[in-house]
Every structure is written in structure tokens, then in C-alpha cells.
Amino acid sequence: MLRRALPIALILTLLCAYTPAHPAFATTTGGEIQMGQQTDREVQDSYTVIKDPLENAWANDVAKKLWAQVARKDIPYSIKVLDAGDVNAFTTVGGFIYVNEGTLDFVQSDDELAAVIGHETGHNERRHVVMFQNKATIANILFTIGALFSPWIYQFGQLAEAGLFAKWSRQDESEADAYGVLLMSRAGYDPYAAVTFMQHLDATHREGNGLIDRYFADHPAAPERVKALLANPDVNFVKRSNDQLLVTALHNQNEGRYSMAAIEFAQILKRDPNNAQAELGMGDMQLALGESTKSEQTLSQVASLGNEQATQLAQTHLLALRDSVKKTELLQANLQPLKDQFATAQSDEARTVVQLEARRTAALAQLKAIHNRIESIAYSIPYGFGNIQAKPHTRIEVVMKNFYAMARSLDTTLDKSGTTIASIGTLQKHKESGIVRENADIFNQLGAPLKLDQPPPQALALFPTYPKLFADMSVQNGDAIRAMDAARGSLALMDVGLGKVQVFLQYFVRAVYRSQLNDIRESDFKELTPAMNDAVTAMSNAAVAASQSEQLVDMARAQQVQTRITMLGLGFPSERYETLRRALAIRFPDQELTYDQMVQNDLTPGECAAATIVAAGTDATPLTIVKEAKAENRSIVEVANARGMRAKSLEIFLGLTYLDYVDDPVKEAATHPN
């Protein structure tokens, strides 16, 4: 997949920024900010900046907590979320930080996002960009970047994003990591998240996920950075004192990071079995993680530790737990009708997979043909053609701006259609991936308790939601099919657009040749304008269709994560549902639905989470969203789409909620050893 590209103007701007003609000017804060502002304008000309209110609020809230701790108070720090699906973040100068939306979709907590932003802030604080003045190094980077991209992109100067110019030395990276950890600690974030982020990245990279490649093109390998981070006793939770670890565990508990808090409470109790606070915390985390019996046993043990305050809290929690268990009557009903529904849903899923596989094969063939055509066009262009420097307010400047618009549409179409195809995935042997693989796992998990003679209480409590889960899977499959069709349609439109681009280029090459690389003659400009406008429109249409495919596939992914949340069994006992409410309230205060509202409206925990997020993102209330869904016979995800919400945003925040319960970097590290 071709990566997003920036015009040569930005490359030249960055070269000027990183190789200042007047070092004194470059090292002043004012000069640094001025260069950052200039580069920021170029970045915004070349990227779509995400305006989603939830994503921006999240990034800015985390960033502002970190920036309250910086030493350089004269830098007006800012952060923008860019419409790019790969995992990356970069900074230029003057406090301008950029985070790809793919990074927001990848990080597993506020703390991990703080690790990313803290690292980039560290580059600014340590003035790494300003000090980056070695022209030979820059020339080497420029050569390396050119080799990473297709000949067509390279031919026209559409090189790489600004982040590749932040190819810092190992020392710079270590300094940025260390400074980021310092900011995280001061701002109240768990510095160990810098390690878990690296571990998640490394594991995903080794699974062959192309969206991670860019990060490792810009940064040193994860294992060496993890090793350096773990050498810091304030980062490595194994080396922390019990008091330090307790502070972190309580932080994660208060932030709704139940799985991480449980890991840390367990570490404390391994060293100090009589730690009353850790024992109490572990009892609460066991409840959140669905281990009600263990939770009751743990809370009962707290009284034996002799801590009066902890004992009182444990007794209060025990009463609430026992009352909530009584609140739900679990019946061993005849499961045969449910088994029949499951078999039907599984058959429907198998048919959908066959349809998606056929579409995927055709889409991959389209992609291959498109790439071949792009290279063919590239090699037909005179060498150095992309280095045309258009003077302001000239006809050739107008043409070059339109050409860059074509290039951005090309990048968008390839990026978003390719991401859609990859996100849907395949069940081909040894290539299993994407939504279809996740759905296969979901059906295996749903089917397992139906085979038992005596299903456990959690399964009995979940069985009544199965018909709704099957219906949700059907909606998700429809979105996936439409997404794949939209992706294929966008590629077909781009094939048409490339034909128009070829026609335009023929006019353009002839006009430039006649002008000897000066401004285009007026007669030539009039001749090429219709072809130029046709090419811009055609390529733009392809990009719009690709964006629609991305919205549809993100709807399918959001629907899938909603199902995953429900499958956690958060509706039983009712006290466990309160853990979901608390996790949602941290990000969306006063929006979460009560247990009684969930029951009265026949909702699943996943639907409650989705309604809460959609309400926050579209300035409504959760009950309003629920009523709309019922009145229009739509899913919550479909209501979000009808309200104009980015499905990516919904999927991101549903994913964060799900990860509150399942994230286990220790287990992941053991599963993916270095």
C-alpha cells in the first residue's frame, strides 16, 4: 500500500527548518515557532486534519496534562490528529505535534497515548529538531525516503511525511523516551505504559501488520527501547517498591483499567500477601473481570488482615455483590431453540465469508493492476519533472496545485481502499486475519457454552442476549460486504481517473516543454485546463468512494467490538455492570445508562456503551440514541452513521472500553517473545 505523501514544498520547508542558514535565529524560541507555523501550514495543506470532537478532546486532554509539566513554558504546544491509518506520530519545531488517527486506534489506554505524546514532546523539549543540522545526514535521509515509495510518487516529488525527517539518532530517541516518562510520572500517568506501547507495537509488527511499518521506519527497534525503559526502576513495575506499585494500581483502578490494575495488585500481593489495600483492590478487580466467586472470597479475607477501614469497605462491597447476584434469576431453560438459532447464524456467517472472499480476490487483482498502471505512467514522465518550482501567482502554480490535489486523491484512495480490504481480512489457511477471523473466534466462544450440560452462571446470564448478538452480526456482515463493494468501486473510479491523469499529463508535459520550465503560456493553459479539471474531478470521486468504504468497514468493526463488550458478561451480576458505568463515566461523565435503564430498554452492555459514546459524540443523551434506534429499527452503530459520526471514532472508544477488561501486556509479551 502506498503511504500518504507530502508535496515537495513541504520537503523543502523542512530542509530549511532542519538546516538553518542562521544558527542564532534557529536557536531562538521565536524563530523556532515561526518555522513550526510555516511547516504546520504545509502539513495542513497535505493532510486532512480530523475534526472529530471526541478524538480531539481525548488527544488534547492527555497532551495538556503533560504540557503542564514541561520546562519550556515559552513554547505554545499544540496537537493535531491526522487522517492517516498507519501508526505514527511526529513533531516538527515550535511545539507542533501530529498524531495519526491510526495511533489513536492502536493505543490501549490514556497512559499509552501519553507515552506517544510525551515522547514527541521530549523531542521539542530537548531541541532535537533545531540541532539537526547535518546536511550529509539530511541528504542520506532524502535518498532513503525516495527508495521507499513508488517511482511515480518519487518522480513527482511526492516524497514522505514529515515524520520521516525525525529519524533521530539513538541518543535522541533515548532522551525523548526518558523525558516522556518524566512528564508521564509528573502528570499522574503510569510510565510503564511506555513499555506496554512498545510491546504492543512489536507484537503487531511481527504479525506482519503493514500499518505498523511506518513507525519502525522512523524509530529504532522496539526491543532495545523496551530494554532501556525497563532499566529505569520508576518504569519497571517489577522493580518498583510496593508503595509505588500501589499508587499505580490505584491509578489504573480509578481510570477503569481493570485488567492492568489486577496485574499490579497481584504483583503487590505476591510480595506482601497481607497488604489490605491490595487485597481489597484485587477483590474489586476480580468482580470487574467476571470472577464473582473469587471476588467474594478475596473480600471475605480482607477482614482477617486487621485493617479496620479496609474491612468496612470490603463488607460494603460484599453486601453490594451479594445483593446484585440475587437481583438476577438464572434459569436452566431448554437450550435447543437457541442452538438452532446459533446453527442458522453460523451458516449465514459461512455464506458471508464466501462472498467476501470472492470480492477480496477481485479487489486484490484491481490493486495490482492499479499499481502497475501507476508505475507505467511514472516511467513515461521525463526525469526531474517533479522538481518544477512554480512561482507564486503564475499559471504553472495553479497547475501544480491541481496536480498535488490529484496525488492526494490517489493516496487517499489507495490508503483507504487498501485498509478496507485488509480490515475485512480472510480465512485462508495461514493467512487468517481481519474481521472475518475475529467473527470466527466470536462464534467459537458463543458456541462453547451451548455444548455444556451445565453452563456456568455467566453463560446462563448471557444466553438471553444471543438472538440480539446474532442480529448484530448480520448487520455487521452487511456493512462488511458494502464496504468491500465500495472499496472495489473506488478502485474502478481511480482506474478511470488515471486515464484522465494521463491525458492531462500529455498536455502538461507539452506545455512545460514549450515554456522551458517558465510560466505556461496562456494558450497552452487554456488547452490543458479541461483535461486538468476532468482529472481532478475523477480522482476526487475515487477518493470519496474510498472514504465511504472506510466508514462502512469501521461501522462493521464498531459493531464487532460492541458484541465483544457484551460477551464479557458485564450484565451479570448487576454490580459488575456498575464497573462498565464507571469506566464510561471517566471519559463521558453523566452519560452512562443505569442497570435498570438497560433492562427496561432491552439493551445489551455493548449497546449501552455504544449509546453512551454516540451521545457524547453527537451532542445527545444515551436514551435519545436508544429511542432513535428503536423507532427507526436501526442498530446503535447505524444511528451513529445517520447522525454523521465518524465510525472510526466510535470504534476507537468502544475498543478502549473493551481493553479496560482484557488488556494484558504481560501475557502478550509471553505470547510474542523477542
Residue numbers of the chain with a pLDDT score lower than 50: 1-26, 133-168
What pLDDT is stored for residue 151 in this prediction? Answer: 37
pLDDT digits (tens, 9 = 90+) for 351-376: 999 999 999 999 999 999 999 998 88
What pLDDT is stored for residue 14 in this prediction? Answer: 35
Q: 3-class SS at 592?
A: coil
- pTM of the predicted model, to two decimals? 0.88
What pLDDT is stored for residue 388 in this prediction? Answer: 63
What pLDDT is stored for residue 285 in this prediction? Answer: 96
What pLDDT is stored for residue 131 in this prediction? Answer: 62
- What percent of the chain has pLDDT above 90? 56
Which amino acid is it at 85? G
What pLDDT is stored for residue 167 in this prediction? Answer: 47
Query: Which helix (DSSP H) or strand (DSSP E) does residue 43 occupy?
Result: helix 29-46
What pLDDT is stored for residue 418 in this prediction? Answer: 93
What pLDDT is stored for residue 350 in this prediction? Answer: 97
pLDDT digits (tens, 9 = 90+) for 253-285: 999 999 999 999 999 999 999 999 999 999 999
Please give the full DSSP string across 342-388, using - where no structure is assigned: HHHHHHHHHHHHHHHHHHHHHHHHHHHHHHHHHHHHHHTSPTTGGG-
Distance CA 616, CA 503 (A): 48
pLDDT digits (tens, 9 = 90+) for 136-179: 343 343 333 333 333 333 333 333 333 344 444 567 778 888 99
- Residue 560, sorted as left (phi over 0), alpha (psi -120 to 50) or beta, turns out to be alpha
**CA torsion sign, 246 to 248 to 252 to 255?**
positive
Query: Which helix (DSSP H) or strand (DSSP E) does residue 91 occupy?
Result: strand 89-91
What pLDDT is stored for residue 322 in this prediction? Answer: 79
Do residues 605 and 565 touch, judged by C-beta distance below 8 A? yes
- What does DSSP assign to residue 99? E
What pLDDT is stored for residue 516 in this prediction? Answer: 60
* Domains in the chain, CATH or no CATH each: 8-230 (no CATH), 242-327 (1.25.40.10), 336-567 (no CATH), 570-674 (no CATH)
pLDDT digits (tens, 9 = 90+) for 448-495: 999 998 888 889 889 999 999 999 999 999 999 999 999 999 999 999
What pLDDT is stored for residue 454 in this prediction? Answer: 87
Distance CA 586, CA 448 (A): 34
What pLDDT is stored for residue 163 in this prediction? Answer: 39
What pLDDT is stored for residue 309 in this prediction? Answer: 83
Which amino acid is it at 588? F
Do residues 650 and 558 touch, judged by C-beta distance below 8 A? yes
